[in-house]
Amino acid sequence: MAQLTRRQFLVGSVAASLVLGLDRLAFAGPLRPDRAKPPLYTDWRDVYRKRWTWDRVARGTHTNVNCVSSCAWNLYVRDGIVWREEQSSPYVASNASVPDFNPRGCNKGACASDLLTGPSRILHPMKRVGPRGGGRWKRISWDEALGEIAREMVDTLAARGGEGMVCELGPEVDFGPNTVAAMRFFRQVGAPITDSMGQIGDLPIGGTITLGLPHTEGSSDDWFRSDCIVLWAFNPSVTRIPDAHFLNEARYRGAKIVSIAPDWNQSSLHADLWLPVKPGSDAALALAACQVVVAEGLHDADYLREQTDLPFLVRSDDGRFLRESDLKAGGSDSVFAVWDEARGRVVLAPGSQGSTNPSLTFPAGVKPALETKQTVKLVSGKSVAVRTVFAQLRERLARDHTPEQAAPVTGVSATAIRRFARTFARSKAALILSQYGSCKNYHSDLIQRSQILLASLTGNLGRAGGGWRSGAYIALDGMGLLAMQEKLDLPHLALLAAKAKLDPEGVRRAFESVYVPSTLFHAVHGGLGESLEARNGDPKLADGTGPYLKKALDAGWFPMAPKPGAESPRVILSIMGNVLRHSRMGDRIKDTLFAKAKLIVDVNFRISETGRNADILLPAAGWYEKIGIKYVVSFVPYVTLGDRAVQPLGDAKPEWEIFARLAERVGAEATRRGVGITRGFNGEDCDLARLGERFSDGGRFGPEAQEEALAFVLKLSSATKGIDLAKLRAEGGAVRLASLGPQGGTAGIFSEYSQSEPVVPLRDFVEKKQPYPTLTGRQQFYVDHPWFLELGEELPTHKEPPAVGGDHPMTMTGGHARWSVHAMWRDQGLMLRLQRGEPVVYLNAADARQRGIRDHDLVRVRNDLSAFVARAKPSGAIRPGQVHIFHAWEPYQFRGFATHQHLAASPLKVTQLVGDYGHLKWGYAHYEPNQTDRDTRVEVERVEGLA
């Protein structure tokens, strides 16, 4: 074969990229704005000549991408096309002692303009022709599309009320009008929205159990101040590209980086210590480290006495906390006792949910014993032995969790565990970064509780550069008001916003009135029966999860969840997500919930698996074609503008406009048919005939008012006080926040804020002695709910992962890829060229050899539920017994449309169904069963006869 010279190769590459540039012209159609004049571009040479010219530079970001980041970009616009994007650098250092936030961006963002003109783009409203999923569509007008949807919605709402519809709202939300539009519309028609946090398996349940907060995090420049950073099931070189530089900078400063992951991932490369833990055994590793810390006296006793429930007394007869109600008639069930070793008596601890003293500080002179065994007399006259949680913990750690015991369980040597524990405990500030990867095991809650225990024993929670962090957002109260309040009268709403700031519970309750817990919604309507089966869950549950689910639903612990046997929704609208891809067992959802629906609508800028199985596609504007703001992540405490740089391609429209126009059509259709008040799924009356007027608040926020709606959000949010669109445009597209806004829900920082300091979470609890939002008011490691006691999970412990999907020899793991954020870039040409270009599974080279599998062979990965075919990549970086597949391939990229998600039974965990225990109750993004997939068991075999 003739060899290419380097010059020939480069010339070819440039020509290819220019031809790609021509693709944009084909989409945008500005080639000949005036037919009387010659065309602006005739071929690739014209594109080449104008390559470095532009008409203007706009500010942009990638609003509807759930990348857990936020990055400001300059967009170079010429002839109505964004030709390229370049990182803007408006970020400054919090102060001179830490690095700044520049540069922010990633490889996906750098080709986002290519994605918007790619072959998956939807340019016009489309209607299905032939069977669902058949891939045949016809173009229709917006008038036809909205008319058909409005007719079916009015039919359904009149006949069944709001429960006849559902909005599958995915995680690709922003904090501006486009996301609010869907929430406002569904709130006003009284139909439920599925809460995506549990559905995608991103809920850090162990955080809720221990801290009352699933999400807690600071800014990423605070990582720089750590002396020991543990990347626990976290691969920031791939999944948090804009923030990963802080880790490298911390390492230059002398910090030790520890990577805990089964595989040698792209972040392990940069670590000082890599612990290749067996999948699902992370709790055993954390607890063994805790054992070393306690046995060697490396724990911070004074911190534990004040900040945790470890000095609380537990009864030996029933394993329950000793409560005020045990000690005196009429005493509270939510006030707890400690042993004052200074005076040798029982004392009630302040700060719990039932206490009238809202502080963690014990009265002067009281010294709670960490370790004691006493006998106390109860109000009933009975005497009972009690001892502290810490005493029980120390005993269990010594009995079950020594490094020698953990070594065969985790696959990590006792020496390495000791080294890790000592390094962590002796660091001035040690940090566990446990992000969304840690949420995807059946026993993730136990893993996270054990990780938090390690950070707490060493006094790190609430410390600069220390703690346990799971990711957090900054809530914009103006967004909630725009979504939930019908009247958008500014003086009235300013008052409400001020109240909301003081009442985070109120904000959460408002959200909860529209959300349904999605995992339960799909367990009932989506054919996910496997998730309840005994064979997929904790072997202690002989009858599986079903009986517990029934008890939870009968007790009303999930008031918004549908009852088993409830009639399925007739209209499904999917937006900012891709439920058939991102849900485990999405194939079952397709065959049940989707199969029963009369109308399925997907609002999207690209064709996804969900769209492929819809009836009508509504083309949404891409991120450079509409105005919005990126969700605000705590990592970078800035608000970032996504301006409208160009007109939407084809017939695409911003979501705000789509829903405003749909509201008008539904209102008109209801009026025409005499349908007035319908019943919302939560029991509220909905005036359907006035929907258009209600949505726009009497025309003040009509279809064209996206910019006004965004200005409203910025004006009404405490975090963006004083920041308006003009300031954002003038200052590089991103401006540092004025405050951290309301706390609660996905916002879990609870600290004072300064624009000249990195953000450290949980300081309010440690420095101001504010009680934690838990039943005990402390970091709560002991949970005495009967279901926790029954399952032996009252304390953090390790349990072997269940054999999900059957008794097969290998465990299938996953994680986000470097080349896509969810499915969006999965079929993007530039990104595909950086990898295999089709679904690929990684497995250990020895496992591959044993099965006769060579590089790039097609393999079948199967278990009791399903099977899929992909390419194989044998690798030394993968643990023996592990099969790794990166996240988010679309089913249509697999042979036969069968994906790895179809093998994940995602069993529901019983303890996550509890709803009657202080802080353990259902709440939006707070506590609900989390979908999981990392315990899925599989076998892999070579496929013969396929190429």
Q: Which is nearer to ligand SF4, 66 or 210 (CB)?
A: 66
**Binding flag, residue 606, ligand SF4 (CB under 6 A):** no
**Binding flag, residue 105, ligand SF4 (CB under 6 A):** yes
Encoded one letter per residue, x for contact with ligand SF4 by CB under 6 A and - for no contact, window 559-598 reads ----------------------------------------
* C-alpha–C-alpha distance, residues 142 and 695, integer Å: 19
Q: Which is nearer to ligand SF4, 448 or 746 (CB)?
A: 746
**Binding flag, residue 69, ligand SF4 (CB under 6 A):** yes
Least gap, CB of 79 to ligand SF4 (angstroms): 24
* C-alpha–C-alpha distance, residues 580 and 602, integer Å: 11
* C-alpha–C-alpha distance, residues 816 and 532, integer Å: 27
Q: How far is CA 660 from the centre of its chain?
A: 28
**Binding flag, residue 71, ligand SF4 (CB under 6 A):** yes
**Binding flag, residue 62, ligand SF4 (CB under 6 A):** yes
Strands 858-862 and 867-875: antiparallel
In the block, residue with structure tokens 């800014």? 219
**Binding flag, residue 67, ligand SF4 (CB under 6 A):** yes
DSSP code for 910: G
Q: Which is nearer to ligand SF4, 646 or 812 (CB)?
A: 646
Contacting range for ligand SF4; rule: CB under 6 A; set: 106-114, 329-337, 581-589, 602-610: 106-114
Least gap, CB of 112 to ligand SF4 (angstroms): 7
Number of neighbours of residue 423 by Cβ within 10 angstroms:
18
The number of residues making up the chain comes to: 947
Residue whose beta carbon is closest to ligand SF4 = 109
CA atoms within 13 A on the CB side of 941: 8
* C-alpha–C-alpha distance, residues 436 and 661, integer Å: 37
Give per-residue burial for 905-939: e unless 16+ CB within 10 Å, then b.
bbbbbbbbbbbebbbbebbbbbbbbbbbbbbbbbb
Of 65, 425, 572, 629, the one binding ligand SF4 by CB under 6 A: 65
Least gap, CB of 723 to ligand SF4 (angstroms): 18
CA atoms within 13 A on the CB side of 932: 30
Q: Which residues contact 861 (CB under 8 A, 6 or more apart)?
A: 812, 841, 867, 868, 869, 870, 883, 885, 900, 903, 938, 939, 940
Q: Which is nearer to ligand SF4, 769 or 818 (CB)?
A: 818
Amino acid 613 reads: N
Q: Which is nearer to ligand SF4, 106 or 407 (CB)?
A: 106
| CA nearest neighbour of 732 among 80, 52, 58 | 58
Least gap, CB of 700 to ligand SF4 (angstroms): 31
Least gap, CB of 69 to ligand SF4 (angstroms): 4
Q: Which is nearer to ligand SF4, 623 or 842 (CB)?
A: 623
Going through 724-854 in order, the beta strands assigned E by DSSP cover 734-736, 810-815, 840-844
Number of neighbours of residue 583 by Cβ within 10 angstroms:
30
Least gap, CB of 788 to ligand SF4 (angstroms): 38
Q: Which is nearer to ligand SF4, 670 or 821 (CB)?
A: 821
Least gap, CB of 371 to ligand SF4 (angstroms): 47
Least gap, CB of 104 to ligand SF4 (angstroms): 6
| DSSP character string of 301-314 | HHHHHHHBSTTBEE
Least gap, CB of 758 to ligand SF4 (angstroms): 20
Q: Which is nearer to ligand SF4, 68 or 397 (CB)?
A: 68
Q: Which is nearer to ligand SF4, 239 or 519 (CB)?
A: 239
Q: In a 3-state reduction of DSSP, which class is residue 609?
A: helix
Q: Which residues contact 147 (CB under 8 A, 6 or more apart)?
A: 665, 669
What is the side-by-side strand order in the sheet with 638-642?
628-629, 638-642, 734-736
Contacting range for ligand SF4; rule: CB under 6 A; set: 68-76, 193-201, 212-220, 869-877: 68-76
Contacting range for ligand SF4; rule: CB under 6 A; set: 57-65, 398-406, 679-687, 897-905: 57-65
| CA nearest neighbour of 635 among 244, 925, 200, 249 | 244
Alpha helices in 411-475 (DSSP H): 414-426, 444-457
* C-alpha–C-alpha distance, residues 451 and 432, integer Å: 7
Tokens linked to 181: 């539009």
Least gap, CB of 635 to ligand SF4 (angstroms): 10
Q: Which is nearer to ligand SF4, 99 or 262 (CB)?
A: 99
Q: Are 497 and 718 in contact (CB under 8 A)?
A: yes
Of 75, 106, 507, 572, the one binding ligand SF4 by CB under 6 A: 106
**Binding flag, residue 61, ligand SF4 (CB under 6 A):** yes
Judged by CB under 6 A, how many residues of this single chain contact ligand SF4?
13
Q: Which is nearer to ligand SF4, 85 or 890 (CB)?
A: 85
Contacting range for ligand SF4; rule: CB under 6 A; set: 63-71, 129-137, 491-499, 533-541: 63-71
In the block, residue with structure tokens 């990126």? 630
**Binding flag, residue 242, ligand SF4 (CB under 6 A):** yes
Contacting range for ligand SF4; rule: CB under 6 A; set: 102-110, 136-144, 710-718, 858-866: 102-110
Number of neighbours of residue 654 by Cβ within 10 angstroms:
24
Least gap, CB of 663 to ligand SF4 (angstroms): 30
Least gap, CB of 118 to ligand SF4 (angstroms): 15
Of 90, 109, 201, 544, the one binding ligand SF4 by CB under 6 A: 109
Of 24, 59, 108, 909, the one binding ligand SF4 by CB under 6 A: 108
Q: Which is nearer to ligand SF4, 111 or 277 (CB)?
A: 111
**Binding flag, residue 821, ligand SF4 (CB under 6 A):** yes
Least gap, CB of 241 to ligand SF4 (angstroms): 6
Strands 165-169 and 373-377: unpaired
* C-alpha–C-alpha distance, residues 927 and 914, integer Å: 9
Least gap, CB of 808 to ligand SF4 (angstroms): 36
347: left (phi over 0), alpha (psi -120 to 50) or beta: beta
Contacting range for ligand SF4; rule: CB under 6 A; set: 65-73, 414-422, 679-687, 927-935: 65-73
Q: Are 263 and 879 in contact (CB under 8 A)?
A: yes
Least gap, CB of 176 to ligand SF4 (angstroms): 14
Q: Which is nearer to ligand SF4, 242 or 802 (CB)?
A: 242
Q: Are 461 and 307 in contact (CB under 8 A)?
A: yes
Least gap, CB of 82 to ligand SF4 (angstroms): 14
* Interface residues toward ligand SF4, by CB under 6 A: 61-62, 65, 67, 69-71, 105-106, 108-109, 242, 821
